[in-house]
């Protein structure tokens, strides 16, 4: 017997309908981005049904095809629950170009950039053919100096309020 399961209040709305694979909405709605750099944590072949109308004459059921899925970890180090379904030759070529991988094992720990593109006038996810740019890392001494400067810093001049003609009065700028 199945029991009811409460849904936590902080559940992302897109997760109310189950999906095994990453979607455009994960980038645009969940994270509010057009592209995301990820680190591949594992690869797996999974059964999929690319075309429900492609019926196997023996089983009378839609044909299943084994396709590759790339999984990755989030910033907290947990694996994201949906993988990236690798479906196009273009994505495979981009994956090879971005990672220089020769084997599936070579992909583990490699960073790729997933972005939104278009196919047949619909948004789709794609892999960029170049690896994502890594942010420059500051030395501990540079980080300490930067932190001290930020604590002493005055707001930049661009943050001063300006009143346009017909605009309502703005509150005074803090510290002014």
Whether 118 maps to a domain, the answer reads yes
For residue 51, name the pLDDT band (cuts at 50, 70, 90). confident
Contact 66, 47 (CB under 8 A): yes
Whether 173 maps to a domain, the answer reads no
Whether 115 maps to a domain, the answer reads yes
| CA geometry: angle 118, 45, 42, nearest 5 deg | 85
**Position 149 pLDDT exceeds 70:** no
Whether 147 maps to a domain, the answer reads no
Phi-psi category of 174—alpha, beta or left, where left has phi over 0 and alpha has psi -120 to 50? beta
Whether 148 maps to a domain, the answer reads no
pLDDT value at residue 20: 86
* Comparison of pLDDT for 55 and 126, the residue scoring more: 126
- Tell me the average pLDDT across 125-135: 87
> Into how many domains does the chain fold?
1
Helix (H), strand (E) at residue 95: helix 89-99
Q: For residue 93, give its domain range.
A: 13-127
* Comparison of pLDDT for 131 and 2, the residue scoring more: 131
Whether 42 maps to a domain, the answer reads yes
DSSP assignment of 105-157: HHHTT-EEEEEEEEETTEEEEEE-SSPPPPPPPPPHHHHHHHHHHHHHPPPPG
- Tell me the average pLDDT across 33-51: 90
Q: Is the pTM of this model over 0.95?
A: no
What percent of the chain clears pLDDT 70, i.e. is strictly above it? Answer: 76
């Amino acid at each position: 017997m199945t029991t009811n399961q409460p849904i936590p209040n902080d559940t992302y709305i897109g997760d109310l309908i189950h999906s095994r694979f990453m979607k455009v909405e994960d980038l645009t709605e969940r994270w509010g981005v057009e592209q995301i750099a990820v680190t591949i944590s594992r690869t797996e072949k999974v059964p999929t049904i690319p075309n429900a109308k492609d019926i196997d004459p023996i089983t009378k059921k839609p044909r299943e095809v084994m396709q590759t899925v790339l999984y990755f970890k989030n910033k907290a180090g947990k694996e994201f629950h949906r993988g990236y379904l690798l479906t196009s030759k273009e994505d495979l070529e981009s994956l090879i170009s971005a990672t220089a991988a020769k084997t599936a094992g070579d992909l583990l720990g490699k960073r790729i950039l997933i972005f939104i593109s278009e196919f047949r006038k619909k948004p789709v996810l794609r892999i960029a053919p170049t690896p994502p740019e890594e942010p420059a890392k500051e030395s501990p001494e540079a980080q300490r100096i930067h932190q001290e400067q930020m604590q002493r810093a005055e707001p930049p001049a661009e943050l001063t309020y300006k009143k346009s003609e017909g605009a309502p009065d703005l509150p005074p700028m803090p510290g002014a």
